[in-house]
Amino acid sequence: MAYSSIYAPARMDPALPPLRVNLYSDTQTKPSPGMKEAMMAAEVGDEQHGDDPAILELCDRMAALLDKEAAVFLPSGTMCNQIAILTHCRAGDEILAHELSHIIANEGGGPGALTGAVVLGLRGERGQFDPETVRAALREPRRNAPPQTLLEVEQTANSGGGSVWPLDKLNAIMDTAHEAGMRTHMDGARLMNAVVAAGVPAHEMVAKCDSVWLDFTKGLGAPLGAVLCGSARFIDEAWQWKQRLGGSLRQGGICAAACTYALDHNVDRLAEDHANARFLAQGLAQVAGLMVEEPETNLVFFDTRGAGVTADELADRIRWDGVQVSTVGKYRVRACTHLDVDRAGVELAIQVIREKISR
């Protein structure tokens, strides 16, 4: 069986012009000169022996930032989710998560393949759900029912339009899960976007999460790396899974130094990405036929149906003018602002999309 690339074929044509504005994903940010300098200067050791100073520093910073006992550095956010699930759950367990969540749609069936757990998809607007929905999904403890052991949420909710869970709603669903004897896990791929947008300190936002991670390869601009946080006991066990899966690193501090640099330089500026996303959404809303969802953070989703083009058709057309977006449905486009896109780039993208729609 052939697996399709995430890029439509026309966007891989060797004759394509170079990119001028890359709104495809905040994962495509490149390390800045300052970040590369920090990487070159990193003091490194052997992480598997627990003595890579740059990784230890990053883990200490993250544990303090999120007010958790301990932290572990991992190559990717996907590995954070999967190791958290391996640590919290056993085969046969049921996880509750939004039906559009990354662990259901974008991790290769990891919970089933690795843990043997099933994920029950919950419904709700903008990638979120309420305590009543969690309560309605709870099962009587019976011999023939799967044990429900974990509730998972995304902050921000990616497929929910980059929406920010309000703190009271987040706390309410986490309380509901804890009352039902479940543990709670936050996929914080874009946690700092939520923190900056809501103005709520990170440790308050994750206070009721038994485990939580932050990705450094999204809008924070590092080449790789994510940090998973939780209790000391949870992290001990997570470390064993990291080892089993071959995720233990040697001089990984070179990459951890980029993440620490990102914490120092690239968090507050996420507000710029959010302002650019709002500007982009306002510009696109003026284009006849486009239905634009109001962005809360750095992700802008819009529907092309009314303009008489599919999402892929539009993405292909604008790519020939050096503008790249991603498509997440027949008519749904995602445009993502990040530190390698400035206001002029957003203006250019609006102009190109307008031209290609009205031609």
Ligand X SMILES: *Cc1c(COP(=O)(O)O)cnc(C)c1O
> Using an 8 Å Cβ cutoff, are 156 and 299 in contact?
yes
Minimum separation from the CB atom of position 76 to ligand X (A): 3
Query: Which residue, 124 or 147, is less far from ligand X as judged by CB?
Result: 124
Question: For ligand X, which is the closer residue by CB, 194 or 290?
Answer: 194
Whole-number Å distance between alpha carbons of 108 and 127: 20
Residue 14 identity = P
Least distance CB 173 / ligand X (angstroms)? 17
Quick one: 83 or 315, whose CB is closer to ligand X? 83
How far apart, in whole angstroms, are the C-alpha atoms of residue 73 and residue 255? 10
Instruction: Quote the least distance from Cβ 169 to ligand X, whole Å.
Output: 18
Nearer Cβ to ligand X, position 42 or 79?
79
- Rg (alpha carbons) of the chain, rounded to whole number: 21
Print the SS3 string covering 52-65. Answer: CHHHHHHHHHHHHH
How many helices (H) does the chain have, and how many strands (E)?
14, 13
Burial of 180 (0-12, 13-18, 19+ CB in 10 A): middle
In the complex, the residues that contact ligand X under the rule CB under 6 A are: 27, 76-78, 102, 154, 158, 187, 189, 215, 217, 226
CB of 82 to ligand X, least distance (A): 9
Of the two residues 6 and 232, which places its CB atom closer to ligand X in the complex? Answer: 6
Name residue, tokens 């602002």: 337
- Token pair for 18: 């170079």
Output 27 or 28, the one with its CB closest to ligand X: 27
The least CB distance from residue 233 to ligand X, in Å, is: 24
Question: How far, in Å, CA of 165 to CA of 342, rounded?
Answer: 27
Find the shortest distance in angstroms from Cβ 215 to ligand X.
5
Q: Which residues does 263 contact at the CB level (< 8 Å), separation at least 6?
A: 58, 61, 65, 220
Taking the C-alpha atoms of residue 155 and residue 7, their distance in angstroms, rounded to an integer, is: 26
Amino acid letter for position 53: P
The β-bridge partners of 157 are 163
- Which of 76/171 has CB closer to ligand X? 76
How far apart are CB 297 and ligand X at their closest, in Å? 11
- Integer Cα distance of 95 and 185 in angstroms: 10
- Of 327 and 356, nearer to ligand X (C-beta) is 327
Give the residue nearest to ligand X (CB): 77
Cα separation, 359 vs 213, in Å, equals 45
Instruction: Report in angstroms how near the CB of residue 190 gets to ligand X at its nearest.
Output: 6
